[in-house]
Amino acid sequence: MPLLRRYALIYREYVNNCVAEALSYRLHFVLLIVMDLLFYLSLLGGVDFLFQHLDQIGPWNRQAFLFFMAFMIAVEHLHMTFVSENFWAFSHDIRTGKLDFILLKPAAALFIVFFRAMRPATLLLGLFPWGLLGWYGSQLGLLWWQWLLLPPLVLLGLALLTSVEILISMSMFWLVESMGINFLRMQLQQLSRWPDFIYGYFAQKFFGLAVPVLLVGSAPVRFVLNPHDTSGLLWLLGLMGLSWLLTAFFWRRGLRAYESASS
């Protein structure tokens, strides 16, 4: 418990710093909000235009499909707020040797590397994705226990997406220029924005098991819509655990390979 409290206090300091920094550049702050809104609207708009010509795609009608999109937007909103900035900083730190200073700090380096930066402007948009989720959820007539499941399932989707991305980021230790890895991460996010049944057999297997980004939204949403369908969630939990083990392994190997450019 004291350990958790200690890390909560460290995180509070990081949040305070990020808020102070974000408020120093007000125009950038506002532009970030506009950018996120445009992104969310373009995601929903694309699907909405498709359903003007179709009644159903696979097992889902317009409401179910847009509910899935809203779920993914909620996951990505939290991801963009609390996690995504850190990956860009990690690549920069390895290249410039700034990682040295993080390794010297009296706290778990993995925690500092992946949770030190957040984007307060995006946090302000929180009502939008949850409002969407509520709107499309109510159109599907969700029951009270299905509503209760939504927040933990969004967090679970976020945890899987973040775990997979952290594992992929370990490759930055071996690549001198890692901007491309961050672009690869963003491509994987794009893949996860469509339900798994859209993809062909091999793509479903590869992105559902080897790089399990398709489970981020598809497994939780299927579970909400049909609580008997637990297989996706079990895979999600199992593969997330595996990714943590692999991250721990590659983190240690990566640190050994790290050349520390500044020293």
Partner 1 sequence: MAGTLKAEWHKWWATVVINWRRLLAYKLNFLLLVIGPVLVFFFIRYQVWAGIYRLEGVDTLQGYTFEQMLAYQVWVMIVGFLALGFNGMNLAEEIRLGRISSYLLYPFGFWPFQMASFLAFQGLQLLVATVTLLAVWAMGWVQLQPLALLQGFSLAACVGLFWFQANFVIGILAFWLEETWVLRVMLVTLSQFFSGALIPLELFPKALAQALHWLPFPYLTYMPVKVFMGTYTGSLWQAFAVLLLWTLLVFGLARVVWRQGIHNYTGAGI
Contact residues for partner 1 (CB under 8 A)? 25, 27-28, 31-32, 34-35, 38-39, 42, 45-46, 49-50, 52-54, 56-58, 175-181, 183-184, 186-187, 190-191, 194, 197-200, 203
For the CB of residue 134, give the shortest distance to partner 1 in the complex, in Å.
Answer: 25
CB atoms within 10 A of CB 67: 24
Q: Which two tokens stand for residue 215?
A: 């489970």
Give CA–CA dist 175/173, Å, rounded: 6
For the CB of residue 41, give the shortest distance to partner 1 in the complex, in Å.
Answer: 8
Between 180 and 241, CB nearer to partner 1: 180
For the CB of residue 158, give the shortest distance to partner 1 in the complex, in Å.
Answer: 21
Residues 6+ apart with CB under 8 A from 34: none
Cβ atoms of residues 169 and 88 within 8 Å: no
Between 49 and 145, CB nearer to partner 1: 49
Between 137 and 165, CB nearer to partner 1: 165
- Sign of the C-alpha dihedral computed for residues 16, 102, 117 and 130 taken in this order: negative
Between 31 and 248, CB nearer to partner 1: 31
For the CB of residue 190, give the shortest distance to partner 1 in the complex, in Å.
Answer: 6
CA atoms within 13 A on the CB side of 21: 11
Between 59 and 241, CB nearer to partner 1: 59
Q: Three-class SS of residue 259? A: coil
For the CB of residue 260, give the shortest distance to partner 1 in the complex, in Å.
Answer: 19
CA dihedral 137, 142, 143, 147 (to 10 degrees): -30
